[in-house]
Structure 1
Amino acid sequence: MIGKSDKDFGQLHFDGAWTGICEILIFGRAYEVPLVVQTFDGASISEDQRLAFREFNLNKSTVSSVVEKAVFSYYLCRVDEYRESFDADKAEIKVPKVHAIDDMQDLVFLRCIKVMSPFDAGSRQIGFIFDATFDPQLGLGVLVTNGSVETVDTQDILLG
């Protein structure tokens, strides 16, 4: 395992991927989660990735708020569909009816933040990977591109 101190990302370790630690407050909880900087074929961390992380660090509370709103909206649009996959007793626990963003606190748990390797030059992408009580197998992924939520779907949109 290779380790290095990076001017933007702090202490990083390489064991197939560059990883570090990221602290963030989201859904009313303070998290210290793995930070993964995605690279392919031994490529170095790109300037777009550095810029994405710098912008994210400067605007963590704003980005967190945007992600919270997107997850809440996604959940509201799919709550009935998710409830159908559980029996009635479990549905009330795993997929409760919610009325506010704060109600999501016990339904989603941040597992990782990923600085994506962009396919489009100049694109700054940060991924949020959540476990979710309402989808225990596939969880939830949120892709933020240039400061705005681009996609909310299962985690697999960010894995790989």
Structure 2
Amino acid sequence: MTTLNDAIFGELKYDYGWVRYTTIEFCGKEAEIALMIKGEEDGKFDEEQYMAYNSLMQKWEQIQYNLLQPILDYYKQKRHELGYDVGHNENYPEIQTTDQILEMINLVGIVVPYGDIYDERDIGITFDCTWDIENGLGLRLLNEQVYEVGYQDVAI
């Protein structure tokens, strides 16, 4: 397995993409995550990838809390689409606050996609969630703002 020590991303291993397992704080709790950097085995990354990652890390203290309301809104929308706002479903309990949604998610990954997909700084965030174990939860951030919320594949 190819390894690389990148000045910005740290020590990465190549396995159909570059990855480093690390710990990051998320809303007051430590989370074990996979930092996934899209790239070829040659280990050359786009300048946009560095910019997106650095900007995310610099603003992480604020950004992490800004993720909760869009996740709560997505959850409520999903719950409604599935009809669980009418009938009871233990996987989709009625919740109202971001503190409640925080209890239902676990940060599991940060994805730095190729830099040429969007003009903006592009980052994916992946979560495991109690209500959809199979598909999980993903967010796409553009310029550190939530652009899309959906299954984990929106982040990858």
CA contact (8 A) 2:68 2:102 kept: no
CA contact (8 A) 1:48 1:121 kept: no
Partner of 1:35: 35
**Higher deviation after alignment, 138-147 or 75-84:** 75-84
Q: How does 1:8-157 map to 2 (within 5 A)?
A: 8-39=8-39, 44-82=44-82, 84=84, 88=88, 91-92=89-90, 94-120=91-117, 122-157=119-154
Report the AA paired with residue 71 of structure 1.
I
TM-score for both structures, normalised by structure 2: 0.86
Structure 1 unaligned spans of 5+? none
* Count of residues paired in the alignment: 154
Shift of 1:100: 1.2
Query: 1:109 & 1:121 partners in 2: Cα distance?
Result: 27
Query: 2:50 & 2:4 partners in 1: Cα distance?
Result: 15
Query: 2:10 & 2:41 partners in 1: Cα distance?
Result: 22
Q: 1:131 to 1:41 in 2, by over 3 A?
A: same
Report the AA paired with residue 67 of structure 2.
V
CA contact (8 A) 1:27 1:104 kept: no
Shift of 1:9: 0.8
| Identity level (%) | 25
Task: Give the alignment's Cα RMSD to 1 decimal.
Answer: 2.2
